[in-house]
Amino acid sequence: MSPRCFRSAGNWAVARVLQAVGGLYAQTTLGREDRIFSFARCTMNHALLLRIADSSPNVLIGDTKEIVVNIEAELVGAVERHEIEAYFQPQIDVATGTIIGVEALARWRHPVEGLIAPNDFIPVAESTGLIHEIGAFMLEEGCRNAARWHRDGLAVHVSVNVSALQLATPDVFDTLHRLMAEYKLPAGTLTIEITESQVISDLAGVAERLERLRAIGLGVSLDDFGTGHSSLSQLRDLPITELKIDKSLIQQNETNGALISVAVALLQERGVRVVAEGVETLEQLELVQRIRADRAQGYLFGKPLPVDELDGVLTGTK
């Protein structure tokens, strides 16, 4: 059995040793690309198997059943099997407290492990190219629900994450052209989110691709700002319509509120909407209000929900 993807359930000591050995194996015997793929597989398998071990704490090393999850293989066809689902997390207008937008977030309803968060499988999807299939599905779900809410008189903006791999291919632009035409979405209804780290690695190339998104009536959001060590001066020429302040700046900030306020004001002068992420407490909401962010998102206002539950929230029936 390969040390890349193995863990004995229920035995923490053995698990840690195998994890360390697997890391050493990957570093010493594999090439660079193989190490990347190996790390992605081990990260995913480890996350899933931790859940199994937690649910079966009395399983012993001597048990004959070893738990091996080949995430890479099981993720193939997950969209066609309707295992990938779109959840939506509310965004509120800071001034009014009303829900004004949602972010679409992928979830994998694994037939054995249950609901799996994106951090646990998106890296594997990106390393294998499956992100294109999953990303297209998420764009379709975002547009379909945005159109439905618009028809029902609910002015809800929808944000969908697009990875660097998707953005680098012409297919994503063709897909977005088709979806915007098919669902007749008003300009600005759909926002494409890209991460700060994607942008600073290729400012000129990304700027050209973002201009293409803006040209077909899409909003462009820079996600996770504050994690990639970029500056506002680096980003000033990017055609973004929104910037999302990373939760680390919101949740751990005690002294730099005034500096963030200045940055927010400069962005808003350029017509860029500012969203504060990761708001979980009233104290953090007070900070968001002080810096005058336009929108806020976080567990204080609601966790990511399946669309049927979100419908009830939006219409006030839940």
DSSP assignment of 248-302, as one string?
A: HHHHS-SS-HHHHHHHHHHHHHTT-EEEE----SHHHHHHHHHTT-SEEESTTT-
Report yes or no: 192 and 180 within 8 Å, Cβ to Cβ: no
Q: pLDDT tens digits for 138-195?
A: 999 999 999 999 999 998 999 999 998 898 888 899 999 999 999 999 999 999 999 8
Q: How far is CA 202 from the centre of its chain?
A: 20
Q: How many CA atoms lie within 13 A of 160 on its CB side?
A: 25
Contacts of 143 (CB under 8 A, 6+ apart): 158, 179, 180, 182, 183, 185, 190
pLDDT digits (tens, 9 = 90+) for 54-113: 444 444 443 323 333 478 889 999 999 999 999 999 999 999 999 999 999 999 999 988
Q: What is the pLDDT of residue 38?
A: 44
The residues spanned by each domain of the chain are 3-69, 75-315
Q: What is the tens place of the pLDDT at every residue in 28-44?
A: 444 444 443 444 444 44
Question: Which amino acid is present at 10?
Answer: G
- The CATH number of 75-315, from 3.20.20.450, 3.40.50.720, 1.10.1840.10, 3.40.50.300, is 3.20.20.450
